[in-house]
Amino acid sequence: MMSSRGYRRIIPSLTAIVEFEAVARLSSFTKASHELGLTQAAVSRQIKSLETDLGVSLFNRLYRAIELTREGEILYAAAAEAMQKIATAYDHISLGSSHQELIIESTAAFSQFYILPKLPNYQQQFPDASLRIVTQKFAADMRNDGFHLSIRYGDGQWSDGTAYCLFDEEVFPVCSPAWKAAHPDTHTLADLAAMPLIDNDPTFDGWLGWDSWFQAFGLKNQKLHYGLRCSLYTDAVNAALHGVGITLGWKRLLQPYLDAGQLVRLSEFSLKVPDKYYAVLPHGEIYSRQIESAIEWLRQEA
């Protein structure tokens, strides 16, 4: 139980905590001073005063760089979570919880193939909702970005948030109907390996490539024929839709194309991967009714 003197007894300067959080998040006294509208010297003095009060060093001052000490990591984790809660509460009060914009971060592939086609259903269920989708090639570090939810693929273990499982995944070769009709003898794994494969750069830890997919079926050290390499999975899928060759089909993402017959499975080989899709809530973010509804909607749409 806190004494009548309250938090001020333990935390002499909330200003110092705010400045410390900025320095730790940005890993720079200079960047923090610019963000806060203060001089670098003023920020340095606040941090030094905070370290004196605590009796420990919060940063290791390296040549042209700084890093948090163990004590600094502990304080930063608590400060970042507390400030995020305050910011979230402020938004709820100032904007009104029913009109708050929900910000979801995902890769371009998940956004284009899973979220956007299903948005009309979301708007029907939540006509007053305001949604913002931020797409990135790699999963963002939510300690540095203002997302309410991040959609990730993996094992569910991330240090910057709490993961809520959405659904599992299955991966198999897909191509256009015309391409399949022109290559009727593509049945075995060796047949597939010799065909013009469409590959793409990985976007998540555990995102499967052709090499790993073939190895899962015991085909190792096989020389693969890549007809096209893309940096984005969206480009790989579009190339397959245009009859360029074969790409790996992630069932949850491409089910609408399979249902419409725009893409077809090329063989009976299909791999159920151990990793899953998750909605990740940043530490300190309130698990509001709006977020709960969005997570349930993503699950239902699967």
As a whole number of angstroms, the distance between CA 118 and CA 302 comes to 10
Residue extent(s) of CATH 3.40.190.10 domains in the chain:
96-167+276-301, 170-272
What's the rounded Cα separation, in Å, for the pair 56 and 1? 26
Q: Across 22-160, where does the E strand assignment appear?
A: 59-62, 65-68, 101-107, 130-136, 149-154
CATH for 6-93 is 1.10.10.10
Please give the pLDDT value at position 4: 42
Q: Which fold has domain 170-272?
A: D-Maltodextrin-Binding Protein; domain 2 (3.40.190)
**What does each of the 302 residues of the chain score in pLDDT, given as a tens digit?**
444 456 666 676 788 899 999 999 889 999 999 999 999 999 999 999 999 999 999 999 988 889 999 999 999 988 887 887 777 667 666 655 445 688 899 988 999 999 999 999 998 988 888 888 888 765 555 555 567 899 999 999 988 889 999 999 999 999 999 999 998 887 789 888 889 999 998 766 567 899 999 999 988 877 888 999 998 899 999 999 999 999 999 999 999 999 999 999 988 899 999 999 999 998 877 888 889 999 999 998 77
Q: What is the pLDDT of residue 233?
A: 92
- pTM of the full predicted structure? 0.66
Of 3.40.50.150, 3.40.50.10440, 3.40.190.10, 3.40.50.300, which CATH number belongs to 96-167+276-301? 3.40.190.10
Nearest CA-CA partner of 252 in 169, 172, 164, 176: 169
pLDDT score, position 140 = 55
What are the φ/ψ torsions at residue 108 (nearest 5 degrees)?
-60, -35
**Quick one: pLDDT at residue 248?**
96
**What's the pLDDT score for residue 2?**
45
Q: Where in the chain is the domain with CATH 1.10.10.10?
A: 6-93
Task: Retrieve residue 243's tokens.
Answer: 């009859």
